[in-house]
């Protein structure tokens, strides 16, 4: 779970320096969407059960 702002920053900042066109995902147990800066946040259950990742 992304329990604090520091933890959220740590998980999302690793993708900010990657300059490519591939989708980037952060997967956690959190129920609400924290997507930012083109990085998609998914709940683990939704991610594993998705028929298509977009």
pTM comes to: 0.79
Tell me: pLDDT of 53 over 90.
no
Tell me: pLDDT of 19 over 90.
no
Domain coordinates of the chain in residue numbers? 5-49
Q: What is the pLDDT confidence band of residue 54, given thresholds at 50, 70 and 90? A: low
pLDDT of residue 43: 96
Spatial distance between the Cα atoms of 10 and 28, rounded to a whole number of angstroms:
13
Spatial distance between the Cα atoms of 29 and 46, rounded to a whole number of angstroms:
10
What is the mean predicted confidence (pLDDT) over 1-19?
90
């Amino acid at each position: 779970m992304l329990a604090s702002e520091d933890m959220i920053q740590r998980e999302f900042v690793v993708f900010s320096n990657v300059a490519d066109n591939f989708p980037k995902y952060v997967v956690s147990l959190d129920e609400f969407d924290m997507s930012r800066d083109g990085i998609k946040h998914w709940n683990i259950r939704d991610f594993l059960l998705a028929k298509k990742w977009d």
